[in-house]
Amino acid sequence: MLCAICRGSENHRRSVAASLVQGVYILERDRQANRQGSHALAPPWWEFLHFRLLRPFVDDADCSIFGAIYEFNPPASHRDHSLDGSPRYVIAFRGTLIKLGTVLRDADLNKDLILNELHRTSRFEIAMQFVQSFVTEVGDSNVWLAGHSLGSAMAMLAGKTMAKTGIFLESFLFNPPFLSGPIEKIKDKRLRTGIRIASSAITAGLTLAMRTKHQRNTAEDQFAALSAWVPCLFVNPRDHIGSEYIEYFERRKKMEENGAGWIGRLATQNSIGGLLMNALGKEYSEPLHLIPSASLTINPSPSQNFKQDHGLEQWWSPDLKPQSKLYKYREL
């Protein structure tokens, strides 16, 4: 029973969130194949977990379904059971769907994500309106956010936006994109480490050089204010799209242990590209992947292929032996 599962098992919480995201993928596949009623394949993904679909989110550009709101609907015999720790509602977002009816729009959104413009897209505006109005209606403690890949970026951006207003939504982000060079593809471990340390030092140095003390303190305060939001990130170390999150948090932790914590803190709240763009007087939004805190879970299983390493299915697999670590941001 989910209400008991959610309190007692992180594995089941992860599996539930991943399954509801999968439900959004299948909703869109049903729409494209015109599968309705008893022919639809999506409902079992939420009905088996005792959820019901409240409403889908429809993209204004291609009419595709990119998200959904689910409501937990336990059997009558369990409705008096305490729901502490369980989601009353889950807002879930799918990622890129390589189908004729969605691939062009999703490709455009991935381009916007790479250019750090996702927050300006109509799809995100639609999603954010639903999130804000729904949380206002039912309360933040009753809502989970969940997403995979591009949908994970949507959920992260929504969660980050809400966190800036002091509302911290429990979030399950599967294979979230980390926008950086593919450093992990460099085979020499010492070279990889050197590049990452140099990048952190350069970022910290540029921050000190280009920002006044007041600007640095303001940015530090704003970044620290987000630290109470601790999204759950699920990353495969062989998935080059999101694997850099592992080093992002570990590097800051190691720098703190070695007495260089201030470099790590400055580096994880700024990007070289953003600093240079701002120095040139050009508007540049805060990179999505820069977050202060997270509960990071990795899949240590041997590599399969990119489709499996980046896929959603791994996160509900009964054979998964996840490794989790909590990273909490510490102020200067």
DSSP of 152-190, one letter per residue? HHHHHHHHHHHHTTT---EEEEES----S--GGG-S-HH
| Longest pairwise C-alpha distance within the chain | 63
How does pLDDT run along the chain (332 residues), one tens digit per residue? 444 444 448 888 999 999 999 999 999 999 999 999 999 999 999 999 999 999 999 999 999 999 999 999 887 765 544 454 678 999 999 999 999 889 999 999 999 998 889 999 999 999 999 999 999 999 999 999 999 999 999 999 999 999 999 999 999 999 999 976 555 565 555 655 555 555 555 555 555 555 554 444 455 567 778 889 999 999 999 998 999 899 888 887 776 666 655 455 555 665 544 544 454 455 556 678 889 999 999 999 887 788 899 999 999 998 899 999 999 987 65
pLDDT in tens, 241-277: 999 899 888 887 776 666 655 455 555 665 544 544 4
Q: How far is Cα 279 from Cα 203, in angstroms, rounded to an integer?
A: 13
- Are 168 and 124 in contact by the 8 Å Cβ rule? The answer is no
Confirm if 134 and 91 have CB atoms less than 8 A apart. yes
Q: Which residue, among 326, 214, 195, has the nearest Cα to 267 in the 3D structure?
A: 195
Q: What is the pTM of this model?
A: 0.84
Per DSSP, helices labelled H in 226-260 are 244-257
The predicted-structure confidence for 132-174, as pLDDT tens digits, reads as follows 999 999 999 999 999 999 999 999 999 999 999 999 999 999 9
